[in-house]
């Protein structure tokens, strides 16, 4: 007999069709984004206990409520499906009010959060700064002397944190011949990797003529470099840092993981996988000014600087993402929306979001498998959806 397996019935394709060359493409990403460790090397970040998450919370009638984020009103459930959502968890006033999962994702499953990894990594930078172990204004070469002569040779860690390094590099996600493709090979995310480490790749990059600090330039290698900076400053592997400084104090229920390269260097720019509930816990910790479970995790002053007072509006306006948040800023790898609500967020390609509205006391974790890495019109609709959702909960 040649009947379909349970895997094929559920996902619509066979497991052996998911390859290193296509794992970020639809429809394969609906499975691969939850199973990164079957495709690339990963390091574990253990949780406080091996206990399972409590049962999912039903949104009830909220899923049938209408929202207007595009040309015609649609229900919350219809928008979740249209935006390729895999999971949605919403918290209000510190309590989970609902979880939603697509048929191909189980409650409690991990999902890659891509560039929200940057925001998580920056939290650990803030923790080390509070401990006096990391200086956000120090030259990069203070921690990585071999960066001299590279694009980061005359940059500060502040430039790295705020994505204002004048780096000659483009985020060309879909160009197989670009430097970005070489970057993906160095992370072991594309076929042909294993001859150049992530560290070697980053230190080979050169700078533009413009001084550092003037323009917001979204360049992911900066955030992998941040992970290296934190490892040098702390003399610990990033996965151990994340567990000790964030995951255990946060009270994360489930194990996290992070992709690593041929040298074991963590992919802090985009390789972290967590559950929706634990991602929401990170947002709630930020909403609470850096505390969780009655325990301070990151200094309150760092959180305030990150989500409201820090960052250069001028550098943001010179960048290419100002269309999304016209009055926004970028600080410590978090986006300030500049909206009256004071909302801020972490964002990852293919539709990953951690959105915090402090005025409404709402945290939204959205994990997705959008077919293309970047969809600017859909991003604008997602922001409008979050704004509408905060009024409904």
- Read off the pLDDT of each residue in 56-75 and give the average, rounded to a whole number: 93
- Residue 58, C-beta contacts closer than 8 angstroms, at least 6 positions apart: 98, 99
Report which secondary-structure segment, H or E, holds 302. Answer: helix 300-304
Domains in the chain: boundaries = 85-392
Residue 115 a catalytic site member: yes
Please state, in angstroms and rounded to a whole number, the distance separating the CA atoms of residues 299 and 125. 11
CA 324 from centre of chain = 17
CATH architecture of 85-392: 3-Layer(aba) Sandwich (3.40)
- Residue carrying the six token digits 């649609």: 74
Among 115, 257, 273, 368, the active-site one is: 115
Question: What is the pTM (predicted TM-score) of this model?
Answer: 0.97
In this prediction, residue 54 carries a pLDDT of 83
Please state, in angstroms and rounded to a whole number, the distance separating the CA atoms of residues 106 and 333. 29
Please state, in angstroms and rounded to a whole number, the distance separating the CA atoms of residues 337 and 386. 12
pLDDT digits (tens, 9 = 90+) for 328-355: 999 999 999 999 999 999 999 999 999 9
The answer to whether residue 171 scores a pLDDT higher than 90 is no
- Read off the pLDDT of each residue in 162-185 and give the average, rounded to a whole number: 90
Contact between 160 and 215 under an 8 Å Cβ cutoff? The reply is no
β-strands 85-92, 256-259 pairing: unpaired
Phi, psi (rounded to 5 degrees) for 26: -75, 140
Beta strands in 288-373 (DSSP E): 291-292, 295-296, 329-331, 334-336, 344-348, 352-357, 362-368
């Amino acid at each position: 007999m040649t009947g379909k397996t349970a895997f094929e019935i559920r996902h619509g394709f066979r497991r052996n069709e998911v390859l290193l060359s296509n794992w970020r493409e639809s429809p394969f990403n609906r499975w691969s984004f939850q199973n990164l460790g079957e495709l690339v090397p990963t390091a574990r970040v253990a949780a406080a206990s091996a206990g399972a998450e409590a049962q999912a919370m039903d949104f009830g009638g909220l899923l049938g409520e209408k929202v207007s984020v595009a040309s015609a009103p649609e229900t919350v459930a219809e928008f979740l499906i249209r935006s390729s959502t895999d999971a949605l968890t919403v918290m209000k006033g510190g309590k989970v009010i609902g979880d939603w999962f697509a048929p191909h994702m189980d409650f409690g499953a991990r999902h890659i959060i891509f560039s929200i990894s940057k925001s998580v990594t920056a939290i650990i930078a803030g923790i080390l700064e509070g401990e006096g172990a990391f200086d956000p204004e120090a030259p990069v070469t203070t921690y990585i002397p071999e960066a001299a002569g590279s694009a980061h040779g005359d940059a500060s860690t502040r430039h790295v944190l705020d994505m204002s390094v004048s780096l000659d590099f483009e985020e060309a996600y879909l160009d197989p011949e670009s430097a970005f493709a070489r970057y993906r090979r160095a992370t072991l995310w594309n076929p042909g990797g294993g001859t150049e480490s992530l560290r070697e790749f980053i230190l080979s990059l050169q700078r533009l003529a413009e001084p550092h600090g003037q323009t917001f330039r979204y360049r992911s290698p900066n955030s992998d470099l941040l992970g290296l900076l934190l490892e040098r400053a702390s003399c610990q592997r990033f996965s151990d840092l994340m567990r000790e400084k964030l995951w255990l104090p946060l009270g994360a229920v489930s194990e996290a993981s992070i992709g690593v390269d041929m040298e074991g260097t963590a992919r802090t720019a985009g390789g972290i996988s967590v559950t929706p509930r634990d991602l929401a816990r990170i947002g709630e910790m930020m909403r609470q000014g850096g505390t969780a479970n009655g325990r301070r995790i990151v200094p309150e002053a760092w959180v305030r600087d990150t989500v409201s007072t820090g960052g250069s509006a001028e550098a943001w306006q010179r960048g290419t993402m100002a269309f999304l948040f016209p009055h926004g800023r970028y600080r410590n790898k978090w986006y300030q929306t500049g909206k009256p609500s004071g909302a801020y967020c972490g964002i990852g390609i293919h539709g990953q979001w951690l959105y915090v509205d402090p005025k409404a006391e709402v945290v939204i974790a959205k994990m997705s498998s959008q077919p293309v890495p970047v969809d600017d019109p859909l991003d604008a609709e997602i922001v409008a959806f979050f704004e509408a959702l905060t009024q409904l909960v």
